[in-house]
Structure 1
């Protein structure tokens, strides 16, 4: 069976797609393959960090602004398709927004899964990228994106489930993002040694880094250094969320490459699991 190389990356908010998958998305399109981002929320509870914006005026229409930013970022990455799942941003842990019935965190899981199943069956991706169970760092929308996305990948393959969502589609390969604790610890150590401030605190022991995974959990490491400028330009398109003065745009060049130049994942669902570390998420598709 010939599988069309299509990538579906499921993310929580506009801008998340650039941080952990921007390079892979750009590479997918550059190779002549298909790439799509499914964004679960509209980001309406995000901060507005751009000092050139009138935050009071932008806040009521932030969801509209962030969709335009997402569209611009996808164009910068080479013409990646995108779709919004239709939920409100839930805000950070403990925010009042967590209790808003229109948020993703409060969504009926069955209904949310049905929506994602419909996207998967229509798009028929060869590869789906999700978050890990903690959503990378514990944000409610990231955790919900993991739950809903994981259930939807399984349900999409079963024709008896959500038959109204289209013919069943079995996703050949499913990954979780896997940013490593060691990368954060090593970056901290380098910044501290150079007398520079770090956005991640001053912990240099990977065992004490709360977020992320250990290196041995990574199955797939993608070199995206050729797309580094493109990835950062796409991230900067999310102007309400990031600014040129951010730590994340002001690392020394070698540390910028270390932090952004590789995207790491854990293969969690496949017919064939590699015995060595992968360097391409589309490896072995011809065996499905």
Structure 2
């Protein structure tokens, strides 16, 4: 199986894998590629918004609940393998969870990178995807996942680093998940036209949008329209995190294709001759 180019996605919490990369994971799986998700934290500090869920009852076992949810979500996407990296959810930036010694935000860099190096060398992916340096929207666990994944991809190819973690493996391409500022602005405009609040704010001027990626930096635009149904079903599997009233589950029909049908990336590293721009994470492999 290792001779089939595979895709490894490094994410912070259960449900992030669907929101950021559900389409490319489902597409890769449908193409017969090996797929794996590494989830860095247990998601134990997430909100509990599932219909009929009692937060007081669910909170003590939220990590267990979310482990079941991500198993269901990944099955719907067709993902082959999953691994928890073993850290506690750090909570949002500034939360008390940031100070938990067991949290990902407080993780020892050498230890965390070593765990990811072992995953990379064992799975031997051609492509790795993770977040940008801002973690998409500034969540500490997303920022940390970016840091650790970038370091691990570099370290995995170096025999003298983490020799106990297996034989060196060269990842062909590393990508950072992104959301172009122009796409956020367009979503805001369409939500406003539909009379709905946008989760991204109200401005339709890309220059005034604090999150997202400047358009000229986006190298890779992937068409995942054939996998929108799987992505939406996988989102629904994260019951504790995505309420029936969530905008994720209530995107107006005219906006569904624009909202779910494309995923964007910045190519951070490539050891192969790949075009720019490109429309496939595996271009050149």
| TM-score band w.r.t. shorter chain | over 0.9
**Partners of 1:273 and 1:133 in 2: CA distance:** 24
Superimposed CA distance per residue, residues 71-112 of structure 1 (whole angstroms, 9 cap, x where no aligned partner): 000001124311000000000011000000000000101000
Q: How does 1:205-244 map to 2 (within 5 A)?
A: 205-244=205-244
Contact 1:188 1:202 in 2 (8 A): yes
**Partners of 1:283 and 1:193 in 2: CA distance:** 37
**Partners of 1:268 and 1:81 in 2: CA distance:** 24
Q: Which runs of 5+ in 1 are unaligned?
A: none
**Partners of 2:215 and 2:3 in 1: CA distance:** 30
**Partners of 2:275 and 2:120 in 1: CA distance:** 28
Q: How does 1:97-116 map to 2 (within 5 A)?
A: 97-116=97-116
Query: How far did residue 231 of structure 1 move?
Result: 0.1
Aligned to 1:126: 126
Contact 1:128 1:174 in 2 (8 A): yes
Q: How does 1:248-259 map to 2 (within 5 A)?
A: 248-259=248-259
**Partners of 2:275 and 2:34 in 1: CA distance:** 27
**Partners of 1:13 and 1:239 in 2: CA distance:** 14
Contact 1:267 1:273 in 2 (8 A): no
Structure 2 length as normaliser, TM-score? 0.97
**Partners of 1:145 and 1:176 in 2: CA distance:** 11
Contact 2:130 2:177 in 1 (8 A): yes
**Partners of 2:200 and 2:270 in 1: CA distance:** 34
**Partners of 1:194 and 1:130 in 2: CA distance:** 32
**Partners of 1:79 and 1:211 in 2: CA distance:** 29
Secondary structure in 2 matching 1:174: strand
Q: Which runs of 5+ in 2 are unaligned?
A: none
Superimposed CA distance per residue, residues 217-236 of structure 1 (whole angstroms, 9 cap, x where no aligned partner): 11111100111111011011
Supply the RMSD in Å over aligned alpha carbons: 1.2
Aligned to 1:17: 17
Query: How far did residue 251 of structure 1 move?
Result: 1.6
Secondary structure in 2 matching 1:101: coil
Aligned to 2:267: 267
CA separation of 1:134 and 1:190: change in aligned 2, threshold 3 A: same
Secondary structure in 1 matching 2:90: coil
Query: How far did residue 273 of structure 1 move?
Result: 5.2
Q: How does 1:33-182 map to 2 (within 5 A)?
A: 33-182=33-182
Most deviating of 17-26 and 192-201 = 192-201
Superimposed CA distance per residue, residues 157-206 of structure 1 (whole angstroms, 9 cap, x where no aligned partner): 00000000000111011111011111111111112123222222211111
**Structure 1 stretches of at least 4 aligned residues deviating more than 6 Å after TM superposition:** none
Aligned length: 284
Secondary structure in 1 matching 2:46: coil
Contact 2:274 2:283 in 1 (8 A): no
Contact 2:172 2:272 in 1 (8 A): no
